[in-house]
Amino acid sequence: MALETDVKALIDKAKLQKEKMGDDSADLFGTYIDEVEQFLPYIKGETELSSSQKELYKRLKAAVIP
């Protein structure tokens, strides 16, 4: 599952970056990390997405897979 591995790596990098940020930026970045993490069950085939999540997922997938 290359996409799952790529997403997990993206989340790990984001968490490291969050630790280096100031409080306000870290809060916003934390929200972004939460948004990305919601797709892991879908990528694993465990859940379905709502229509708004599908649109967000398409943008994430385009950013993760060249």
Q: Is the pLDDT of residue 65 over 70?
A: no
Domain ranges for the chain: 2-64
| pLDDT on residue 24 | 72
Rounded to whole angstroms, how far apart are CA atoms 51 and 57? 10
Tally of CB atoms within 10 A around 21: 13
User: Do residues 41 and 15 lie in contact, with contact meaning Cβ atoms separated by under 8 Å?
Assistant: no
* 9-63 pLDDT per residue, tens: 877 887 887 777 777 777 777 777 787 788 888 888 888 888 888 888 788 777 6
Cα–Cα distance, 43 to 4 (Å, whole number): 6
Confidence category of residue 64, pLDDT binned at 50, 70, 90 = low
